[in-house]
Amino acid sequence: MICDKVRPHHLARKAILYVRQSSTHQVLHNRESSALQYAMQDRLTALGWSEIEVIDDDLGRSAAGGVQRAGFERMVAEVCLGKVGAVCAREVSHFARNSRDWQQLIEMCRVVDTGRSGNHLCAEAR
């Protein structure tokens, strides 16, 4: 099923799948979560993306406090440059735990018309 919120101009740009777990313990012992997150590539493909970049640099890094997350920062930079048609994560809490980071990503997606989602890509894509 193709979502009516995914437009040709979204598909002309790459999609980013952001994969993250908060701790090394989760990465090592909660492998089902990782598998489900990586499987979101199939959803993006089904929606029509041929170029999907998986950013998993932040596996094992908390989104709380002042922890630097190079993957998240790279994703935001790519969105700001208008190179991204959609950002996706299995759960939106994987993007950011604090309002500032979350709002920055959402606002940049709105400005450059990038679709964004957590659990279901079409739930929030615009």
pLDDT in tens, the chain (126 residues): 456 778 898 999 999 998 887 667 675 667 777 888 889 999 999 999 999 999 988 887 766 666 678 888 899 899 999 999 998 887 766 666 666 777 788 888 888 888 765 433 443 333
Residue among 109, 122, 120 at smallest CA distance from 76: 109
Task: Confirm if 97 and 69 have CB atoms less than 8 A apart.
Answer: no
pLDDT of residue 64: 62
- What is the CB neighbour count within 10 angstroms for residue 123? 12
Task: Confirm if 70 and 77 have CB atoms less than 8 A apart.
Answer: no
**22 flagged as catalytic:** yes
Among candidate residues 22, 33, 50, 117, the one labeled active-site is 22
Distance CA 43, CA 1 (A): 10
